[in-house]
Amino acid sequence: MRSRISIIIIVLFTITTYISLTAATTPVAQHVVKQPQHNVAQLAATSSLPSTTLPPTTLPTTTTPPTTIAPAPDLYAAWTRVAVCEEGGWIGRSGDAYPNSLGITAANWYANGGGSDYSPAAQIAVAERLRASVGMSIPDQNGCGAW
């Protein structure tokens, strides 16, 4: 009976080791590993086999983009005037040099958290971060230009 338990423990340990090593080298999207419901360390401690501790497997974490909050109506109205001056209104992505409706250069757009969301709320959020970082007010319609 004791030899059967030892064989079962060895088989379980081998399978667990294989799964752990496979999970560490295989991308998560291609291979999902369900951990066994037993404690191999406790089983190994009750047998005559030496216990082996494996390092924990670190799985990559996913990040979610920040949620853009709708701007206050007066802020939206002020930035809409800039969008009208720069691009004729909120048009979304407008090109590589100025990828937004507010005339913000691509370098400033990406440096201030701009990404692929070109909704008016996202554009205003980036513009507000840029405006705060350089200490300026919202440009008026007569002062349109790249910034």
Residue 8 has pLDDT above 60, yes or no: yes
CA-nearest of 125, 71, 122 to 92 is 122
pLDDT-based confidence at residue 47 (cuts at 50, 70, 90): low
Q: What is the largest CA-CA distance in the chain?
A: 91
- Tell me the C-alpha distance between 131 and 111, whole Å: 12
Instruction: Return the closest-CA partner of residue 138 out of 60, 59, 79, 62.
Output: 79
Q: What is the mean pLDDT of the chain?
A: 75
Q: Residue 31: which region, alpha, beta or left (left: phi > 0; alpha: psi -120 to 50)?
A: beta
The pLDDT-based confidence of 23 (bands split at 50, 70, 90) is: low
Residue whose structure tokens are 């005339």: 103
Q: What DSSP character marks residue 119? A: S
More confident residue, 62 or 132: 132
Query: What is the rounded CA–CA span in Å between residue 100 and residue 91?
Result: 8
- CB-CB neighbours of 24 under 10 Å: 14
Total Cβ atoms within 10 A of residue 43: 16
- Domain annotation for the chain: domains and CATH numbers: 2-45 (no CATH), 73-143 (1.10.530.10)
Output Rg (C-alpha) for the chain, integer angstroms.
29
Tell which wins on pLDDT, 43 or 85: 85
Over residues 104-131, the pLDDT tens digits come to 999 999 999 999 999 999 999 999 999 9
**Mean pLDDT value across residues 56-81:** 71
143 confidence band (pLDDT: 50, 70, 90):
low
| Res. 88: pLDDT tops 60 | yes
Average pLDDT of the segment spanning 133-141: 82
